[in-house]
Amino acid sequence: MQAPKRIYESKYKPWIELQGKAIVGEGRANLLRAIRDLSSIAKAAKKLNVPYRTAWAQLKRIEAAVGTPIVKTYRGGAKGGGGARLTEEGARVLREYEKYERYLGSLANDADFWEALDMKLSTRNRIRGVIEGIEKGEVAASVRINISTPAVITAVITKDAVDDLELKVGEEVEAVIKATEVMVSKFEK
């Protein structure tokens, strides 16, 4: 049975938090990207059409939330030469936001995901087992799962999925079988 055709668009407004305090949403992420790309807070503010003071206030809010500087500034002189760059923590905050943004974007645009929301999995689609081996390639990874029935299932998933799930040999996982794919899920402890 096919899921009904979607007539509405999916929209989302991602942000990341630390201990309940908002750190970065779309506007602040755009500011960090512009500083990274232009090496200047003034140029970043101009590009985003926000007052320079507002840009600085946003940066100070992020720093207050994370408790460490996120931008390193360099003074110019009579001949210029000043600028700014993201600190290691500033780059980490932006990477975390972009990773989350990509994930939400991929879900919002994934027809299979929306179709799966209307489906129910039967127990025959899920098989528990223990990881017997992991082979990582440049993009994909092969995860061999030894199941209690005398058989081993091999799932080919992305290397990022192996890292995101923090898969380790000897861990108990579940093989989720969908049509021609074998996916991997992990139990939260």
Banded pLDDT at 68 (limits 50, 70, 90): very high
Banded pLDDT at 187 (limits 50, 70, 90): low
For the chain, the first-to-last Cα distance in angstroms comes to 34
Return the pLDDT at 90.
94
- Provide DSSP, 93-148: HHHHHHHHHHHHHHHHT-HHHHHHHT----GGGEEEEEEEEEEE-SSEEEEEEEET
- The model's pLDDT over 96-142, given as tens digits with 9 standing for 90+, comes to 899 888 887 777 666 666 655 555 555 556 777 888 899 888 888 88
Return the pLDDT at 151.
73
Return the pLDDT at 103.
81
pTM, entire model:
0.56
Return the pLDDT at 78.
60
Give whichever of 2-6, 9-13, 103-107, 172-176 has the largest mean pLDDT. 172-176
Return the pLDDT at 1.
40
